[in-house]
Amino acid sequence: MDRQVDVVVVGGGSTGCGVVRDLARRGLDAVLVEKGNLTHGTTGRMHGLLHSGGRYAVSDQKSARECIEENRVLRDIAAHCVEETGGLFVKRPEDSEEYFQEKLEGCKACDIPVEVIDGEEARRREPYLARDVEKAIALPDGAVDPFRLCVSNAADAREHGARIETHAPVTDVLVEDGEVVGVEIEHETGPGKRVHREPGTTEEIRARHVVNATGAWAGNVGEMAGVDVEVRPSKGVMTVMNTRQVDTVINRCRPKGDADIIVPHETACILGTTDEEVDDPEDYPEEEWEVDLMIETLSELVPALEDARTLRSFWGVRPLYEPPGTGTEDPTDITRDYFLLDHGDRDDLPGMTTIVGGKLTTYRMMAESISDHVCDALGHEATCDTAEAPLPGSENPARMEALMDEFGLRSPVARRSGQRLGSRADDVLGEYDPNPIVCNCESVTRAEVQDAIGEAGSDLNAVRLRTRASMGNCQGGFCTHRIASELAEEYPEPVVRDAEDELYQERWKGQRHALWGEQLSQAMLNHLLHATTMNRDGDPANLDGEVDFGAFDAGADAGDAGVDGSGGETGTAAADGGRASDDAATDGGRADGDAATDGGRADDDAATDGGRADDDAATDGGRADDDAATDGGRASDDAATDGGR
């Protein structure tokens, strides 16, 4: 039987990571289980706004007060995750003056420091702002990197003895004698650090208390325990721009509405968002009009957005909750407050607590209150220090000059690395010499990638979240293979291949909705490069048959290959299975060459299958690469028919 721990926290978003850190620091034995990567659900799909509280200053002053309080805490304890951009609520001529005043009064009432500036001053601070912006309220909004924040929380928890288990979905909540006693999880890819292609195993983790911090998924976990948690998931779209058109958070000062915020985030800007209730947090439509709406509406604030390059779009699902019976129609009216559901009191099922609602900015406060609750339940006495103890990386700021001088980094590389790594920069960057750049767009060096691999194993999406590698304008086109090759020393070839493919596909997925102009060119270039240099459109290594790599580059049979030239033309046509005319066009002048190398055996190729792929490769000899290149645009099943070609 598995040993019992104090607490299992389900959900590796900001709340779950915050809770597990808090509990671990209070000396409890805690385990965090997450079905994907850390931030896999909602946390990784937000616009990265560190609220000043201004957004809720009129509609929800309790939340607004909590936001400004936590805003100050995070600037301190999570300095390396926060960029103090400042924010503006801007008023256009058609926006209500009355609301502007209400907003101003609301902020003052919530102790949010504000300053009213005229349009000219606003444009001096943010030159891309529209010329008809009349005035603005300046307040201390900021940008926060949710990935780094969660990872730092988890890292601190681990330092304090917690176990962090990712890629481990909960398959059951264990209920014995009317009490929750633990969870059963499935290791999708093996326990511990991720290892691909190992059969999944399940594990029962028995615990004195279970915290359900799964946000929009809380209902699913509740269901496993037999309780009803009425989360009302609401989707919102966010569009990522290639560069920062603004360096300040820009909010539209109006009561509510879609597409009213631009958040500078690392090297990019994130446009947000919409608010639309969905049935299933896993399965909802992602539609292009939503992206169009973002760009069109926010161009009223920043005209340059209209022609600027978009990188990708993503949707997130808010874990909105309201107590049963409230019956709010419009999801934008549902409170942003958080709720702690004690299932012992509520459903007569002790041993489990669910936390829903809330927002990233107040994650620590939520974690504190749920940890207080859990400690109460377990009779554990300890004080919370998460508001004072800096997260790993935020102990002191990185020393930029040192990074440049000691590690020979180019200045922007040192700056971005220093910002990402915070006080860990020295340790991480000192590990590798030479330390080449692996991801150029975001200036991520080998040392940083290796550090992330050390933490996250072979899951390159987890490496991405830690480093931002592949999150720049090429969206992995020029670096997925380089990042993957950093795995090669430690992991076997198939693992590296899968990891690369997974990252590449993830990058592609997010670009589909915003694919025009420059990003379309980028996607085509990426595709062709990967197709022609790595056979991504039909990788022989993904076929069932063994690939005889030795047969390439004028391998064993290359000598006889050219001997028999007769019948080559028909051979090519037959081998290509009915695509003869296409081929003639594509192959152009190389038809003769093909004929010679294919020899008379091409007919056999057509008749047989992948089993003969090796021989094909042998006869094609050194020409295999060229063929792959020409075949670039074909569907991958064609490549399969072609065997080794």
Partner 1 sequence: MTRHTDDDAEGAGRTNEASGGCGDCGCGEPSPGVPEAGRDEQPSVFVPDEGEIPETDAADAPDPTRADGAGAADRAATDGGVESASGGTDSTELDPDAYDPVDVFPGGDLDLREGADSCYKCTSCDTSCPVAEVDDEFPGPKFQGPEQWRLKRKDDHDIDESITSCSNCMRCDDACPSSVPLSQMHNEARGQFVERQMEKLSVEYVRNRILANYRTSASLASKFPRTASFAMNFGPARWAMEKVMGIPKERDFPEFATETFREWWKARGGAQVENPDKRVAYFHGCYSNYNTPEVGKAMVRVYEHFGYEVMVPPQKCSGTPMFANGMLDDARRHAETNVENLVEAIGDGADVIASCTSCSMSLRQEYPELFDLHGIEDVAEHTFEALEYLRIHEDLEGELDAAGGLDDERAFAYHAPCHARNQGLSRQAVETFRDVDGVKMEDVGDSCSGISGTYGWKEEKYEKSMEIGAEMFEHMEDAEGEVGMTECPTCAMQMEHGTGYEIEHPLQLLEDTLGA
Nearest to 575 by CA among 556, 553, 594, 549: 594
| Residue 280 φ/ψ, nearest 5 degrees | -125, 120
Q: Do 78 and 155 touch, CB atoms closer than 8 A?
A: no
Q: Per-residue string for binding with partner 1, 552-591, x by CB under 8 A?
A: ----------------------------------------
Q: Do 286 and 316 touch, CB atoms closer than 8 A?
A: no
CB-nearer residue toward partner 1: 99 or 128: 128
CB-nearer residue toward partner 1: 7 or 49: 49
In sequence order, the β-bridge partners of residue 314 are 238
100, 147, 363, 478: which one contacts partner 1 (CB under 8 A)? 478
**3-state class (DSSP) for residue 183:** strand
Q: Binding residues for partner 1, how many (CB under 8 A)?
A: 39
182, 272, 316, 477: which one contacts partner 1 (CB under 8 A)? 477
Q: Do 216 and 41 touch, CB atoms closer than 8 A?
A: yes
Query: DSSP alpha helices (H): ranges in 408-492?
Result: 411-421, 425-429, 446-456, 460-467, 480-485
**3-state class (DSSP) for residue 263:** strand
CB-nearer residue toward partner 1: 443 or 458: 443
CB-nearer residue toward partner 1: 385 or 518: 518
Q: Taking contact as CB under 8 A, which single stretch among the options 126-134, 179-187, 210-218, 484-492 is the one that binds partner 1?
A: 126-134
417 binds partner 1 (CB under 8 A): no
Q: Is the dihedral of CA 218, 220, 224, 225 positive or negative?
A: positive
Q: What one-character-per-residue DSSP string does 478-529 give? A: TTHHHHHHTTTTTS-HHHHHHHHHHHHHHHHHHHGGG-SHHHHHHHHHHHHH
Using CB under 8 A, which residues numbered 129 to 188 contact partner 1?
130-132
Using alpha carbons only, what angle is made at residue 277 by residues 236 and 320, rounded to the nearest 5 degrees?
Answer: 80
CB-nearer residue toward partner 1: 525 or 554: 525
396 binds partner 1 (CB under 8 A): no
H-helix or E-strand spanning residue 103: helix 97-109
The span from the first CA to the last CA of the chain, in angstroms, equals 53
- Closest separation between CB of residue 287 and partner 1, Å? 24
CB atoms within 10 A of CB 59: 16
115 binds partner 1 (CB under 8 A): no
CB-nearer residue toward partner 1: 525 or 635: 525
Distances (CA, A) of 553 to 213, 529, 597, 610, 617: 55, 20, 13, 20, 9
65, 92, 123, 206: which one contacts partner 1 (CB under 8 A)? 123
CB-nearer residue toward partner 1: 243 or 581: 243
Query: Longest Cα pair distance anywhere in the chain, in angstroms?
Result: 90
294 binds partner 1 (CB under 8 A): no
H-helix or E-strand spanning residue 139: strand 135-139
Q: Is the dihedral of CA 279, 281, 283, 286 positive or negative?
A: positive
15 binds partner 1 (CB under 8 A): no
Q: Taking contact as CB under 8 A, which single stretch among the options 87-95, 115-123, 164-172, 427-435 is the one that binds partner 1?
A: 115-123
CB-nearer residue toward partner 1: 197 or 512: 512
CB-nearer residue toward partner 1: 207 or 437: 437
- Closest separation between CB of residue 377 and partner 1, Å? 45
393 binds partner 1 (CB under 8 A): no
124 binds partner 1 (CB under 8 A): yes
Which tokens hold the place of 110?
């919530």
239 binds partner 1 (CB under 8 A): no
71, 267, 335, 354: which one contacts partner 1 (CB under 8 A)? 267
Using CB under 8 A, which residues numbered 296 to 315 contact partner 1?
303-304, 308-309
CB-nearer residue toward partner 1: 42 or 526: 526
522 binds partner 1 (CB under 8 A): yes
54 binds partner 1 (CB under 8 A): no
399 binds partner 1 (CB under 8 A): no
410 binds partner 1 (CB under 8 A): yes
537 Cβ neighbours under 8 A, 6+ residues apart? 527, 531, 631, 632, 633, 634, 635, 636, 639
Q: What is the binding site for partner 1 (CB under 8 A)?
A: 119-120, 123-124, 127-128, 130-132, 242-245, 247, 264, 267, 303-304, 308-309, 410-413, 415-416, 440-443, 472-474, 477-478, 518, 521-522, 525
